[in-house]
Structure 1
Amino acid sequence: MGDAEAKFHVAMFPWLAMGHLTPYLHLSNHLASRGHCISFLLPRKAHSRLQQLNRYPDHITFRTLDIPHVHGLPQGTETASDVPLPQHHLLAEAMDLTRDQVESILNSTKPDFVFFDFADWLPQVARPLGIKSVCYQVITPAALAIFLDPVRRFTKDRAVTPEELRQPPPGYPSSKAVFRDYEAWKLSLMVDQFGNNVTFYERYRSAVIESDAMAIRTCQETEGKFCDYIASQCQKPVFLTGPILPEYNAALEGRWRKWLDRFDDKSAVFCSFGSQNILEKNQFQEAVLGFELTGLPFLVSLKPPVGCATIEEALPEGFEERVKGRGIVYGGWFEQPLQSILNHPSVGCFVHHCGFGSMWESLASDCQIVLVPDHFDQILSSNLLAEELKVAVQVEREENGWFSKECLCNAIKSVMDEKSEVGSVVKKNHAEWRDRLTCPTFMSGYVDRFIQNLRDLATSKVG
């Protein structure tokens, strides 16, 4: 690749979760639009879900993997959305068992780079083949920075106290990361097993240390201080891809468009907690009652709660009759891209869990933002939007993590009420960030610089 304009070949192998597969594919689309070739490794069942998002099938080739069965996982499990969070460590074990398949694909395709996040063994496979490995992370750098704590070592052999977990590491560049008890409990997942006799913390650190470079889906303008901290700790190149917003603006089709068409502009609330967040039944019922309490039209996408096979059996008594005509709770998979729903004229508020993908797509939308974070990284992303950028409102929780229907309702009304001072402030700030992030030259500039970073990496100018 001596020619500055030479095209390269990238292999992509993200963690087996839609929240990782999808942003990896968005990046693939941006690279393919500039003529680069992609070999995208993914589970068989994810192929159909992602196929419609492949904008450049002449340049992006899906290479399916057979995900081995691991004892303790339901038969047919291939992605994190197939199982609850406590079983993700078994899915990590299954991912590790694809090593021979991945090595065979890399050996036959001979890419210039391989991108990965949690398969920490990939650099060992890639290095003998002359392939550069890039640890590409699609979760908030605020969390990644804590995982690179230079003092504490979160290992399976060392007990970590809740008090210790509540304290940010030395030099951590934010005063907003104050962890309450339930947040510390979420963070303790770092010391739990994540695969065969390895913790998540150990897996992540190994991936960073062994890779040739690190890349993060973010931009300097929003999270630069965390990226600078990460670069100082990992002592290797850290490339930023920008937010990598989806390369499409498709109109919403089907029954959801027809249903939303019935309501006034910016009057409806859309909610999605992602493919992995599964609520307890009591919390699920409290949430849907909160949407009912707003009196606004709403379209809510939630997975059936713990212990329930369907959404219908989990709904509060009389709920469907009371909200008929103005509210829907849907437990299936939305085939339409998220932006196509957020762009519908009647949708005025987006309530989400602040997963990193939802964070960026909400910032790029024209909807007011209400946040209900659950996992550790989501809490830190929520802090960024609500407390630092001041573009959103976070739903208040009790110390045990519970949120009430009243708190959810109040948060939504605080941004939807035209006379609300809070709503006016976050709307103004959001509009400024949206205009910046969606400017075509902003995104293209990041992608072009990222491609140059890869060229420099390939010619050993960095790393």
Structure 2
Amino acid sequence: MAALRSHYAIFQGAKFLAENGHHLYFISTPNNMHRLPQIPDNLSSHLNFVQLPLPHAQGLPQGAESTAYFPIHQVPYLKQAQDMLQLALINFLKSSRSPSDIINGRRQKPEDFTVVPEWINFDFNIRFKLHEMMSHQEWMDSVSDLYCYRTVLKDCRAVIVRSCPEFEPEPCNVFSKLLQKPVLPVSLLPPSLRDYIVADVKWQVLKDGLDTKKEDQ
């Protein structure tokens, strides 16, 4: 069981780094991943699990992904299977997204904003129209709004958003992973009735009448 203990020790090390504000990808094979304990909710935006299926190597028992489950003379077969993970790992590193996608900004031209970003991993079809981005660019100062936005995101320690996970679970999760910073939803913050300036006399009369009613009326 030494292999499993070693795998668990690596997980504990990753968890410790995540608790101290670092952002990590924990890459392993499915069977080994399933044996790990579930991470706390407060670390879900800092520690991301990535499962890479282990290719089958001749001589390796089916489903075996750790030396804990076969004799030592079969270890070379496990190493062969692990070597075959090279392409899958390369593809993951090429396709993974980081804060540079927003902060450093691969989307520079107006046309870049007319398509859904690649890092959106859920059903989403909202995008800018080309004329909207062209109009925005025409009125842009020498220092662009996007540059200011990216500079603020880069230098801040956390981001507060006017939303909530219950209402927008996927965007909150993606935004946190993309920025690699804490994202703090503060709900939808509906305006208080006291903030309304009542200009309609009829509405004021109706409001006064409703204010006199009890909650169960």
State TM-score, norm by structure 2: 0.40
Higher strand share: 1
